[in-house]
Structure 1
Amino acid sequence: MERTLIVAEKPSQAREYAAALGVRGRGDGYLENEKYVITWCYGHLLELERPEAYMDLDRVGKRWSLNRLPVLPSLQAFRRVVKSGAAKQYEVIQNWLRSSDIGEIICGTDADREGQLLFQEVWDAAKCNKPLSRLWISSLTTAAIQEGLKSLRSAESVAGLAAAGNGRALADWDFGMNLTEGFTALFGSFDAVRKKPNVISIGRVQTPTLALIVEREWEIEGFVAQPFFEVRAEFSSANGEYLGKWFDPSEDSKRITDPQVAEKIVARTQGKPGRITKIEQKNVQEPAPLLFDLTSLTIAASKKYGFSAEKVLQLAQSLYEKKAITYPRTDCAYLSEDIVPKLPDHLKAVHQEPYSSLADEASLLGVPKGKRVINTITAHHAIIPTTEKVAIHKLNREEQNLYDLVVRRFLAVWFPPAQYHQTDVVTMIEGESFRTKGKVLLSLGWKKIYDPDDLEDEGVKKGKKKDKREQTEDENATLPPLSKGEEVQTKRVFSEEKSTKPPKRFTQGDLLKAMEGAGKQIDDEVLRQQLKGKGLGTVATRPAIMENLIDRGYILQDHKALKPTEKGVELIRLIKEKLPQAQLLISAEMTGQMEFDLSKVEKGELSIEQYMTEVEDAIRRIIKELRSFEQRHGKTPLALAPTAHPSTKGKGKEEPRARTARKKENKVRESAKKVDDNKVTNKSQVLALGNCPKCGAEVIEGQKGFGCSNWRQGCHFVLWKTPICGKVLTPNQVKSLLKKGKTPLIKGFKSKSGKSFSAYLIWEDQSEAKLKFEIETS
């Protein structure tokens, strides 16, 4: 009798299939009984051949060069070879696929695009034409496996998924292989410290992600703090004291930027009686947060436990293989309608300490059915505990922490919303308006699932009470009983100077949000679910992208903050300022559109041939541009990657060996910089822009800024070319600044909120080259 072959993604998955099907026989690289043979891959067993396999090396040479590019094999011409160390298992699978003992095949790899691709690679290599079906499950429990085998999908139903996986692999190869060689040939150099080439790695998703980090750094460097003033008042009513903050009723968000205006309000209202002119009171509900997808789980775990994105993915995969949680590589935060009858079984599985009493209470509240829980899903539903009870004590501490996050989020959706009594009070003094907000918790609802330290209730954050001044902005402040029309005493009015803050550097969690939103960091969880599909990479690949950027010397992780290195900054500046065609490489929107096009390939709405034609056209344009750059400027080495990374814990001491290496590197870098600067300076000597405010010598344009020509004698005056609210200074603007003390009116600045504005730039500290805005007044 012919048997059924199941191909799993890895040995652990194969063992779960065997346990569910009662398969106990063991062979070399497979498991078997009289009905089934179960074998496995180890992830991808095959890899695409390197570009040299498609080249005539006698003609183009072995050295990386633009003359060898582009290398763009047709879809049919791409070849895969067995990865090093995978030959034995590859042969096991091939033998079984071709065996006369096998009557049908089941693809049982992970139910996603990459899992489909790694099976498709070995299937295509075998040229097998036996009946093929697809096992599609969201957990490795026995019940889920047995149910999945009863409702197998046809091979045709996942053909688009296989095509999208292939399109992703081939596009990444085309971009990575061609452009990494092209950029390295033109902008790479020899790293004398590491004794190897300084490779300028380019990637379809990696490079726009680096651009997000670099552009955030430029925003921070170019940020000009704007002072503003807040006027606050302390009131005394018949029933107690409260505080208020001045606001303009005609423009609620208006800030006071003139200290004299603030002082006039203080003088006008100080000691004068107040009157409550408005009280709005309403009960509001706060629903439980959405269930976890991989991104939101990573953000939560990063915030609470400091886990990296790569660490969260590793732990989630381990919990999945231990049957503790459902499939983790999901971008969906909802459950499907057909899972509703099974939810009580999932709840029973978490009925153990420390969740027993919460699970008991949840079971009395009824199965959650609202649209925030049951909704349209993508390939896989949200991450929840499975229907099998897990021996929590057998999980390691990190696994327990991640499992706890998943369980509590799952329990939370069974509970009702938290309820608050919200109050909005307006107090008038001499025609000036002061607002006070208060919010009192009436019912914990879902918040009882969490420890108080994990929540921000009743004006308490992590156990620390806010001071009186902070409470004027705190909607959780508890107010005394107040009534409309009530006269109150003004105890004190005061003005406080504040300043706008620069944007913060990305953490890994913040960067995941920005990657998911194609450059836009979307915090609203429902909106985030609606805008999926056009992000940078996928939930499964984003953690590895961040690790690659660190490994390749483009960014550093300093505690939780991600900072670009000099190498990373120079690459993005080069593309942004000198290579217009290559700018698609740093466009989050463009890369997000490519990801969206892959989803269209998956749905059969776009052919893989059309997708690859667009990829190839883009690469040809960029290679042509690199050739043109080489003809005009020659080879232009970028900075080397740093030798030592900042410690992620504490300050960390630099070892003598690393210190020596750093000194060598700095010498190499300084030499390259002087050569590079001389190229620019020699061209710019005739373009003196004005006199240096520090020493009186000429100011000239360099590659990275407008600096004093007397720099060799120690004058450090320089106006950097880092963007200021999205605008980079031009030579004419610098000329005007040096001559008149202000630039011409510059239009198109972008505020932090994204609004455009026009302003002059004037000196804040001329000798230190510090600037500030002078806003245009009509």
Structure 2
Amino acid sequence: MSKTLLVAEKPSQAREYAKTLGVKGKGEGYFANEEYIISWCIGHLFELKSPENYMDLNKVGKRWGIHRLPVLPQVGEFKHGLKLSTQKQFKVLERLLKSKEIEQVICGTDADREGQLLFQEVWDAVGCQKPLFRLWISSLTQEAIREGMAKLRPFHEVEGLAQAGYGRSYGDWDFGMNLTEGFSALFGSFDPVRKKPNVISMGRVQTPTLALVVEREWSILNFVPVSYVEVEAEFESMKGLYKGKWFDPAAKKSRASKGQAKKLEQNQEQEKSSLDLARGNEIIAMVQGKAGRVHSVKEKESMEHHPLLFDLTSLTVAASKRYGFGAEKVLKIAQSLYEKKAITYPRTDCNFLPPDLLPKLKAHLQALENGPYGQWAKKALDLPLPKGKRVINEITAHHAIIPTTEKVASNLSPDEVKVWEMIVLRFLTIWFPAARYAEKEIITMVDDESFMTKGRVLLEPGWKEVESSAKHHASSGKSKDEKENDDQPAGLLPNMLKDEEVETKNCQALQKETKPPKRYTQGDLIKAMEGAGKEIEDEMLRQQLKGKGLGTVATRAAIIENLLDRGYLIQLQKVLAPTEKGVELIGLIKERLPQAQLLISAEMTGQMEYELAQVERGEIPLSHYMSRVEQAIRNIIEELRHFESTYGKKPIAFGGDTKKGMHSETVTNIKSTQPENERLKGQAVEVLGICPSCGGGIVEREKGYGCQNWQTGCPFIVWKNSICGKVLTPTQVKSLLEKGKTPLIKGFRSKTGKSFAAYLVWENPSTGKLRFEFEKKDGR
């Protein structure tokens, strides 16, 4: 009897399929009955082979270098190697795919690009030609699996997804392998502390993401606070007291007429900086104790709609803000909740639900009736189905993350409960009406000076009542800054009328300073990656720019983790900061490698991500995407080749201890590419000697002894790296520059641990390269 082979992504997924389809028999690497055989991959079974597999090592050698690059296999020529750890399961799949009892095959891996790719690698390696279908589901509940099996997609509908998967894999290999070797050959070195090479890892998404953090750090370091004054007055009327803040009506009108909402914050800073202490005191002197009048009173009602349902990005941002969870942790928790059938598919970039899901939403509520928010689920069951474009709208591959129709799972970890409750609360809010506010604005004039008073009071909480019921709801508390800028509640404002007279009882100048931008949390960085470097707060505007960000919802957490693991970033409590290695790399690219600036352009990388999405939709061929990748790499490698011939090798700093955090002194040492020069400006800097390369002055810097003419291209530097356990002192460098050798240095340690003494002399004085010279037997 012929059977259907269903291939899952992992064993846990296969068990859910088997349970739903009543497949109880078990074999080595599969489940089986008379109708189905259900087997699985174990993530990716294959990996792309290293560049050395495309080289003639007898000609180019085994040592990394620019001369070996670029290595750019054509599509169809990439070599896939079976992982040692997955060989056994591949043999199971290979045998089943070739088996005569298998009539048709269903791909049941995760319904996304990577899930399609890991199945596709197996399918293409075996060369199977049997009828192929796609199971496309958004949760692992039995209802969703049965519905998906009843609506299997023909393979041609996801063929573009497979092509995009290969494009992502091949393009990332091209960028990563070529540029990591090229940059490491020029800017890498041996790390004597960690006793391993300091590899300069590069990536299509990794490097522009690093640039976002470094550029934010530069903005913080270069920030110059601007002092400004806010003038606050207290007014007394027959109806009571109220406060108002001075403002410039002309500036306010200009902003409104130009509709410059995006520049509002910038304009506010300019307005603040224009009101200095002298002008503030002048205003106080003019209005103190004087009579004024109410110029205008405006009252209106406003509404605040519920937030959009979660996609993976917004869930990560919220969990990062509320609990300090890292992006990788949020993704792992969400994936676990999905596999425990508590939530729908998490790796989605969509915040909406499709119309055909509306009739089923009551079942999702019923599953929550006996849970911690059962009272709200019961209330929602009596309300009409949600409507409007904030809930029902166009979806991408998967709809927004919501709780499933399964009852509350009892086997959730404490962290899983936290994330699950966030998703439940967000889902419940869509059933309730908008929050309603009464807003009041009073403008008071004293002579020609204007004062603004604003107030707002909640009339009906609507959906906010649901969210406020959560114990750890983050937005229920306000930051210190928000509290300082709070307006008065409208209900406490006197019921003033236009032209009513008031008396200025008290007026004071509040001295303040503008604040630097804040470092990214992992959630903030994920959001910036989604917007291709633009932090976009407006939820609906974010939807329009999706698809042009750095990476995808499924890969962004791993990118941040890689930057931490590779010594480019460090985690400081809830925020991220770049290491010196990360800062130097981005500074090097920005100042000296114009072709490589493609690597730090969030917009350009976002455009490449968009083209991958076009491959997925079948709008452009994979060859078009790959040709852009290959040309970019050729340009960068040629630039590195020119740099090497001009300046030689220039090692950059080692990475920080990213897992344990970073000591305060290391944080202090994070600098932009210019700070070294800025620190030396105006100071008496000791010149240790004459540069052997250009005749300039050699000075001591933080990481080495370099030429003052480095910005105009002089390559000379003697690094403060450990040389067999010794770091050169300024006195020893002086001797080198004057005599061509150091004094005899004792206490060097060989690789075997043996102590020895030697002089250090020039091997190449133009670049600062040294070699040992040993003491002669006669003591000379």
TM range (shorter): 0.7 to 0.9
* 1:274-673 matched pairs, under 5 angstroms: 274-391=292-409, 393-451=410-468, 461=477, 470-471=485-486, 473=487, 478-643=492-657, 647=661
- Gap change, CA 1:35 and 1:185, over 3 Å in 2: same
- Gap change, CA 1:143 and 1:86, over 3 Å in 2: same
Distance 1:114 1:98 in 2: 24
Aligned letter for 2:408? V
Distance 2:377 2:45 in 1: 43
Distance 2:378 2:354 in 1: 24
**Alignment deviations for residues 54-88 of structure 1 (CA, whole Å, 9 cap, x no partner):** 11111111111111111111111111111121000
Distance 1:82 1:463 in 2: 52
Aligned letter for 2:205? V
In the TM superposition, residue 653 of structure 1 has moved relative to its aligned partner by 13
SS at match of 1:197: strand
Of residues 1-10 and 357-366 in structure 1, the stretch that sits farther from structure 2 once superposed is 357-366
Equivalent pair of 1:385/1:410 in contact (CA under 8 Å): yes
Matched residue, 2:261: none
SS at match of 1:367: coil
Matched residue, 1:207: 207
Equivalent pair of 2:306/2:429 in contact (CA under 8 Å): yes
Aligned letter for 1:461? G
Aligned letter for 1:339? L
Aligned letter for 1:314? K
In the TM superposition, residue 482 of structure 1 has moved relative to its aligned partner by 2.2
Matched residue, 1:166: 166
Distance 1:704 1:20 in 2: 70
Aligned letter for 1:443? E
Matched residue, 2:153: 153
Of residues 586-595 and 362-371 in structure 1, the stretch that sits farther from structure 2 once superposed is 362-371
Equivalent pair of 1:294/1:330 in contact (CA under 8 Å): yes
**Alignment deviations for residues 368-396 of structure 1 (CA, whole Å, 9 cap, x no partner):** 011100000000000000111123x3211
* 1:71-110 matched pairs, under 5 angstroms: 71-110=71-110
Taking only the aligned residue pairs, the percentage that are identical comes to: 58
SS at match of 1:629: helix
* 1:155-234 matched pairs, under 5 angstroms: 155-234=155-234
Distance 1:198 1:250 in 2: 57
Equivalent pair of 2:235/2:506 in contact (CA under 8 Å): yes
Matched residue, 1:774: none
Matched residue, 1:268: 286
**Alignment deviations for residues 463-508 of structure 1 (CA, whole Å, 9 cap, x no partner):** 99987x644x567784232222222221111112211111111111
Equivalent pair of 1:685/1:700 in contact (CA under 8 Å): no
* 1:116-155 matched pairs, under 5 angstroms: 116-155=116-155
Distance 1:449 1:703 in 2: 59
Matched residue, 2:65: 65
In the TM superposition, residue 233 of structure 1 has moved relative to its aligned partner by 0.5
Unpaired segments of 5 or more residues in structure 1? Answer: 655-676, 689-698, 714-778
In the TM superposition, residue 455 of structure 1 has moved relative to its aligned partner by 6.7
Aligned letter for 2:468? D
Equivalent pair of 1:29/1:40 in contact (CA under 8 Å): yes
Matched residue, 1:755: none
Aligned letter for 1:38? I
**TM-score, normalization: structure 1?**
0.83
SS at match of 1:166: helix
Equivalent pair of 1:246/1:435 in contact (CA under 8 Å): yes
- Gap change, CA 1:272 and 1:542, over 3 Å in 2: same
**TM-score, normalization: structure 2?**
0.83
- Gap change, CA 1:455 and 1:123, over 3 Å in 2: closer
The total of aligned residue pairs comes to 672
- Gap change, CA 1:269 and 1:11, over 3 Å in 2: same
Distance 2:231 2:189 in 1: 57
Matched residue, 2:702: none
**Alignment deviations for residues 757-777 of structure 1 (CA, whole Å, 9 cap, x no partner):** xxxxxxxxxxxxxxxxxxxxx
* 1:693-708 matched pairs, under 5 angstroms: 700-703=708-711
SS at match of 1:242: strand
Of residues 78-87 and 248-257 in structure 1, the stretch that sits farther from structure 2 once superposed is 248-257
**Alignment deviations for residues 208-251 of structure 1 (CA, whole Å, 9 cap, x no partner):** 00000111111111111111111111112323221110001110
Aligned letter for 2:312? L
- Gap change, CA 1:60 and 1:702, over 3 Å in 2: closer
In the TM superposition, residue 700 of structure 1 has moved relative to its aligned partner by 4.8
